[in-house]
Amino acid sequence: MAGGLQVERRSIDPVPDGERHGHPRSLFTLWFAGNMQITAAVTGALTVLVGLHPLWALVAVVLGNGIGAVPMALHAAQGPKLGIPQMIQSRAQFGVYGAVLPLILVVLMYLGYFASGNVLGGQALAEITGLPVDLSILLYAGLSALIAMVGYRLIHRFGWLTSLVSVVVFVYLTIRLLTTHDLGPVLANAHLDLPAFLLALSLTASWQLTFGPYVADTSRYLPATTSIRATFWWTYGGTAIGATWAMSFGALAYAVAGSAFKGHEVAYVVGLGGQGLVLPLLMAVALGKFTVNVLNIYGGYMTVATTMTAFTRKVMLSPRTRIVYIGLFGVLGGVAAVLGRGDFLSNFVLFLHFLLYFLTPWSAINLIDFYLLRKENYDLADMYDPNGRYGRWCGPALVAYFFGIVVQIPFSNAEGVFTGFLVPLLGGADIAWLFGLIVPGLVYWAAMRNRIDHVQAATLTS
């Protein structure tokens, strides 16, 4: 069995049974660590920033993560069954060339999350080292790329370590927040603003939904005999508990601190611990952010590779090519972080909106295909061959995907950028993501169920 520091050999190619290893409980620590960090706390703060009462913000955090983590964990269960990266599997729905469209959007997602992680992690690193913030952001991006270059085993081991650190740190910070502030007045007179509640719900659900394109990347080395139920629940538990805790902390922190938190997220969180613990807490913030930052660059390079190899027909990449992909993605994400760090919270909320509108239709189509239509049965070789059974393009999938985007437009409320014509009738509420999940899934199922049944029946009789 390869050591944790050995550079991963696999990229977008299927993982053979002889290289499968591990237990799905490792997914709990990985996704707990990936959520129990400063960016999740910032997302929790957004639920109050949009005008929602803090008590109802906590309700939105619990519901949003509880709902959004369901499709996220269902994607995770695909990893052990197929042994391939998540976005390669999209070729079975969209065609080898057709999958490039959602792939490009997923690349933008990875880049945005990686850049936002570099902003917050770089702030902590700058406080620790005394280096300029911009230089610290670039160094943080480089360290994240280095871990991603080593690969899967080290990422899982790192997730275990950061889970332990995150629990200790957030327990302490939560106690400090609750004992140094009087939360009674903050939580009193809880008036429900339904539009603000629905907007907060969409923000927290989007946090989980946007893990969909790469969650199977972290489970694909598990043995093929791993049950869907085990993979689902270990992933669901880690991601839902970690995110709910961190976001609840962020919502309460913003409720009591307001402008002292906005724009100074790292400094405020560290300041809760008192002067004697500034350095250890800064190191914990930087370390805690590292796990998901590494996951973003790790998934980013595989998505870029999946996009490029659709046309080159390569099934695997050399270790050297893999390192070059990761290095280039790291540089791009670091530069984007430096250029975009000015108004972080405002930029981040718009980014979450953008992702939600474009990725929920992909998620719905992918899950309907895997669980209801093909029922986990795929030909892996054909996913790398434009002339195979999945073809170059799948018209019904692309139509369902575009329709899933269009149907959201009347209900979309990206404040300051775009407001759908039905939003005022709903009091400003944003419920577009619900249509983005339900409608394209139904359209794809209706268009493909007879076609897929016919193809699979012909395969069984041949």
- Angle value at C-alpha 271, between 267 and 275, nearest 5 degrees: 125
> What is the pLDDT at residue 243?
93
* CA distances in angstroms from 155 to 52, 85, 223, 288, 327, listed in the order given: 36, 15, 18, 13, 17
pLDDT of residue 259: 67
Q: Is the pLDDT of residue 115 over 90?
A: no
* pLDDT of 349 over the 60 cut: no
pLDDT at 462 over 60: no
> Higher confidence at residue 182 or residue 242?
242
Average pLDDT over residues 29-47: 83
Mean pLDDT confidence for 377-406: 91
Residue-level pLDDT at 1: 37
CA distances for 329 relative to 300, 305, 431, angstroms: 7, 11, 33
Higher pLDDT, 87 or 56: 56
Q: Residues 162, 121: contact at Cβ < 8 Å?
A: no
Return the pLDDT at 461: 43
Give 240's contacts (C-beta < 8 A, 6+ positions apart). Answer: 65, 66, 69, 208
Q: How far apart are the first and last CA of the chain?
A: 39
The more confident residue out of 244 and 270 is: 244
In the predicted structure, residue 447 carries a pLDDT above the cut 60: yes
Q: Tokens in use for 295?
A: 């996951």
pLDDT higher than threshold 50 for residue 411: yes
Predicted pLDDT at 2: 42
Residues of the chain with pLDDT > 70, as a percent, come to 87
Domain covering 22-346, topology: Hydantoin permease (1.10.4160)
Strand partners, 414: 418
Which residue would you say has higher pLDDT here, 36 or 65? Answer: 65
CB 266 within 8 A of CB 122: no
Question: 200-220 pLDDT, tens per residue?
Answer: 888 888 889 888 887 888 888
pLDDT in tens, 85-106: 888 888 999 999 998 888 888 8
241-249: average pLDDT: 92
Q: Which of 189, 452, 149 is nearest to 321 (CA)?
A: 149
pLDDT at 206 (0 to 100): 82
pLDDT range class, residue 236, cuts 50, 70, 90: very high
Domain ranges of the chain: 22-346
Q: pTM for this one?
A: 0.82
- Average pLDDT, stretch 111-121? 81
Average pLDDT of every residue of the chain: 82
Per-residue confidence (pLDDT) for residue 18, from 0 to 100: 85
3-state secondary structure the chain: CCCCCCCCCCCCCCCCHHHCCCCCHHHHHHHHHHHCCHHHHHHHHHHHHCCCCHHHHHHHHHHHHHHHHHHHHHHHCHHHHHCCCHHHHCHHHHCCCCCHHHHHHHHHHHHHHHHHHHHHHHHHHHHHHCCCHHHHHHHHHHHHHHHHHHCHHHHHHHHHHHHHHHHHHHHHHHHHHHHHCCCHHHHCCCCCCHHHHHHHHHHHHHHHHCCHHHHHHHCCCCCCCCCHHHHHHHHHHHHHHHHHHHHHHHHHHHHHHHHHCCCCHHHHHHHCCCHHHHHHHHHHHHHHHHHHHHHHHHHHHHHHHHHHHHHHCCCCCCHHHHHHHHHHHHHHHHHHHHHHCCCHHHHHHHHHHHHHHHHHHHHHHHHHHHHHHCCCCCCCHHHHCCCCCCCCCCHHHHHHHHHHHHCCHHHCEECCCEECCCCHHHCCCCCHHHHHHHHHHHHHHHHHHHHHHHHHHHHHHC
Q: What confidence score (pLDDT) does residue 35 get?
A: 85
pLDDT at position 291: 76
Strands 418-419 and 413-414: antiparallel
- Tokens linked to 150: 């080593």
- Cα–Cα distance list, 161 to 29, 226, 283 (Å): 9, 24, 13
Residue 183: Cβ within 10 Å count = 15
Whose CA is closest to 105, among 362, 369, 393? 362
User: Rounded to the nearest 5°, which phi and psi values hold at 255?
Assistant: -65, -35
Q: Is the pLDDT of residue 456 over 60?
A: no
pLDDT at residue 121, rounded to an integer: 81
Question: What integer pLDDT is reported at residue 366 of this predicted model?
Answer: 93
pLDDT at residue 406 in the model = 93
Q: What confidence tens digit (pLDDT) does each residue in 255-265 have?
A: 887 766 666 66
Judged against a pLDDT cut of 80, whether residue 346 lies above it is answered with: no
Residue 392 scores a pLDDT above 60 = yes
Q: Which residue has the higher pLDDT, 410 or 276?
A: 410
Mean pLDDT of 366-380: 91
Our CA angle for 75, 78, 80, nearest 5°, is: 135
Whether 316 shows a pLDDT value over 80: the answer reads no
Residue 368 token pair: 């309907």
Tell me the pLDDT tens digit for each residue of 133-181: 889 999 989 988 888 887 767 776 776 777 777 778 888 888 888 888 8
Q: Region 117-135: what's the mean pLDDT?
A: 84
